[in-house]
Structure 1
């Protein structure tokens, strides 16, 4: 069996005849994939393709996840049928995509994605296009061998054949899954240059599966991390959601740190974390991601606004401190820091306004939590972003215990009736009027302006 590391990359492999890989068939009695664990709708697609004379295979993440005992959310199918032929077989099918022409077979809320085997060579039709080493269009169809070699990781290049329930392995992926190893197919540097987002996929899948990234696959990551700056900001936004909202946020964050990718994805936060000698900000980020992972595990919603508020909080704190050192008043500094961090981050990741504005509100509400003035307390409690901001305040206790009193006050304030809240505020005001020895504080006389009005 060929060694995947000897591949020269998908762009240089023109046919299965020149491929250094060989087919291995793993029969049904030597793997654990069962049809009862496969989506019934995916089985319908597989069987109809087979019965119509086409090759039909469950492919990619679903096969990989089933082999490690997981429960796939998506079931993708690979076939030698063209998208148009697939559409002719299913009335509930629509064709999508320009970069990658795909068929989506729709069963209510479930979509079975059907992809035609892609070739690795350019047939001159213009349906395969490279720009600056990056693959921007890939609609030249080929054989299953071609299709396997052009996939990114060996663990994603496994095919479950509906005709005999075997697993087809062309790249050594079956052994890599057993060894829990993430390994790129072909030359790692070339594959990353074709699509820099593969670097994020390597980290994300390793975090999700508990795999190690193979040495040759990991080595180029710090060197090529800057290539992520060439990826579309909208695509990077989607990748961030996959990294941190799939239940493996802590491991994903640690992977980004380990391989130098955090500095490109969140440059200002990465710099702030390095300069925070106490490590308090990093502890807060890790605790927040741990809470996020727990919510995902419990099928509880997680807002992208809260996620980005957490990931960019170190950058916000650093920008705020810089502005205050320059003599900018606190509230103005908070607004300017929020705008500055958001604007700078948008050059890398396209954070939509429907998430960036609530994110900023979460930050700016933090400055209100020290106030005990009745009107401000009521306005804060009734703010539409109060609950998220309060959860964020509670999270800040991980970084500093000085927020404990505020957390306790606002936790109680949410549960109190109007008269009870008034009583609490009166007590807070009375306590504020006493000095550290319990004696009444001396009031400063207000200077009067020349016109006789008291100064503000």
Structure 2
């Protein structure tokens, strides 16, 4: 049942458990020196300050967090007075960003879990749209999303403070929502994606009660801002855990909401070839992230939306639309329809379409066309995509072999080879006995 805020019944019990330094593995050596600087300055100014959230969670499972967040009883304005290198951001959720060169330490004031009538906490139809009522650390803990994200590391005694059972959940590798799952998902439907992403990243299981409402509430995701869903897609698929994220979206019924046309195409592709290709592409993406190689969002979305493109193209060709026109129309149609859910910026959607449209040009062997394609700015991405298509069908093997060799050869050698191949074809045609032309009888001119 939707609720606008936690009722007395759904508010989880808070019980402080202090885990001393000798019972956990969080070490200051693993914490950003800038985050420690912020914590010590807050303490010296008389404020409470804790490392909180994902960094504590990741350190407890032996990870190496990139981002370090701080929670404090100082207001954003008080934090700004302490740090010259601080800027205040956000309206829905006001935060202080303390900037050290390229590193930003995010400092959030403890939030309360209730509306104090000031208008600083605003809920619209179950959706939390503004959350700036400040409170205690206990209140802050229960309004966080997952128990694993509600752990606080103290520089006073180097302990980890746990108010909602998160320490045991991290140890047992469980993602559990704090409070009533349905209420929490209605407050912010993107939490469903976060559950999938964090479980994939950490190798955690989503606790049954936390997983149960996801399939039913999945349609709520479509009401989220498309720009926010684009950012969530990048986190899901470009953080090194794309395969597990995709499988999680499938398992919990979120794929048809996030990528509706691709989900429909995958469901109707009986051979499973499109799904094989997609998973292989995501595997490659994870490998590139692990090797610290760049991955373009354009290539990622070319992969994710390829099933939708193939299905739309087949539908247009069945309507006798000319091949080149069908390709252009299919690319445009898929892109426009996807924008309803995920705001794919033009700087990514355009190269994505080029990757698709270049696929039909890999069959050409005429010298001019070969050199023109090799010089195309999207050639490399399109060729990588063609290679990936081998996973779905062996029919592309000859094209992959030809273009792999073509890239490796000096231009003059390639030109000579293409010229020789053309002459050989001409010779074959010349050697074929000419077909006798049948003389057409002239029709008698009437009248």
Structure 1 Cα separation of the partners of residues 127 and 316 of structure 2? 40
Structure 1 Cα separation of the partners of residues 112 and 434 of structure 2? 83
Cα distance change, pair 9–28 in 1 and its aligned pair in 2 (3 A): farther
Structure 1 Cα separation of the partners of residues 428 and 141 of structure 2? 75
Structure 2 Cα separation of the partners of residues 101 and 416 of structure 1? 57
Structure 2 gaps, min length 5: 438-447
Cα distance change, pair 432–325 in 1 and its aligned pair in 2 (3 A): farther
The Cα offsets for residues 79-117 of structure 1, whole Å up to 9 and x where unpaired, read as 000000000001110100001000000000000000000
1:237 is matched with which residue? 230
DSSP-derived class of the 1:216 partner: helix
The Cα offsets for residues 153-192 of structure 1, whole Å up to 9 and x where unpaired, read as 0000000011111111010000000000000000001100
The Cα offsets for residues 320-346 of structure 1, whole Å up to 9 and x where unpaired, read as 000001001111100000000000000
1:25 is matched with which residue? 18
**Partners of 2:6 and 2:183 within 8 A in 1:** no
Q: Which moved more, 1:422-431 or 1:376-385?
A: 422-431
**Partners of 1:153 and 1:184 within 8 A in 2:** yes
Structure 2 Cα separation of the partners of residues 328 and 119 of structure 1? 59
Q: How far off is 1:443 after superposition? A: 8.4
**Partners of 2:281 and 2:388 within 8 A in 1:** yes
DSSP-derived class of the 1:12 partner: coil
1:293 is matched with which residue? 286
2:318 is matched with which residue? 325
| Aligned mate of 2:357, from 364, 372, 376 | 364
2:336 is matched with which residue? 343
**Partners of 1:59 and 1:160 within 8 A in 2:** yes
Q: C-alpha root-mean-square deviation of aligned residues, in Å?
A: 2.1
Cα distance change, pair 196–431 in 1 and its aligned pair in 2 (3 A): farther
Structure 2 Cα separation of the partners of residues 121 and 444 of structure 1? 92
Cα distance change, pair 368–265 in 1 and its aligned pair in 2 (3 A): same
| Aligned mate of 1:206, from 180, 194, 199 | 199
Please, what TM-score do these two structures have when normalized by structure 1? 0.92
**Partners of 1:158 and 1:168 within 8 A in 2:** yes
Structure 1 Cα separation of the partners of residues 351 and 408 of structure 2? 24
Q: How far off is 1:223 after superposition? A: 0.5
Cα distance change, pair 152–434 in 1 and its aligned pair in 2 (3 A): farther
1:418 is matched with which residue? 411
1:12 is matched with which residue? 6
Q: How far off is 1:435 after superposition? A: 8.2
Cα distance change, pair 199–102 in 1 and its aligned pair in 2 (3 A): same
Structure 2 Cα separation of the partners of residues 178 and 441 of structure 1? 80
The Cα offsets for residues 403-456 of structure 1, whole Å up to 9 and x where unpaired, read as 1110111111112223211232234435656889x97496899xxxxxxxxxxx
1:40 is matched with which residue? 33
Q: How far off is 1:295 after superposition? A: 0.5
Cα distance change, pair 33–375 in 1 and its aligned pair in 2 (3 A): same
DSSP-derived class of the 1:204 partner: helix
> What does 1:394-405 correspond to in 2, within 5 Å?
394-405=387-398
DSSP-derived class of the 1:113 partner: strand
1:374 is matched with which residue? 367
1:452 is matched with which residue? none
Please, what TM-score do these two structures have when normalized by structure 2? 0.94
| Residue 96 (structure 1) aligned with residue 115 (structure 2) | no
> What does 1:16-415 correspond to in 2, within 5 Å?
20-415=13-408
DSSP-derived class of the 1:11 partner: coil
Structure 2 Cα separation of the partners of residues 332 and 325 of structure 1? 13
Structure 2 Cα separation of the partners of residues 142 and 10 of structure 1? 19
**Partners of 2:12 and 2:179 within 8 A in 1:** no
2:444 is matched with which residue? none
DSSP-derived class of the 2:145 partner: coil
How many pairs were matched up? 436
1:429 is matched with which residue? 422
DSSP-derived class of the 1:78 partner: strand
2:443 is matched with which residue? none
**Partners of 2:5 and 2:126 within 8 A in 1:** no
The Cα offsets for residues 42-71 of structure 1, whole Å up to 9 and x where unpaired, read as 000001101111111000000000000000
**Partners of 2:50 and 2:70 within 8 A in 1:** yes
The Cα offsets for residues 269-326 of structure 1, whole Å up to 9 and x where unpaired, read as 0111111111111010001000000000011000000000000000000000000010
DSSP-derived class of the 2:5 partner: helix
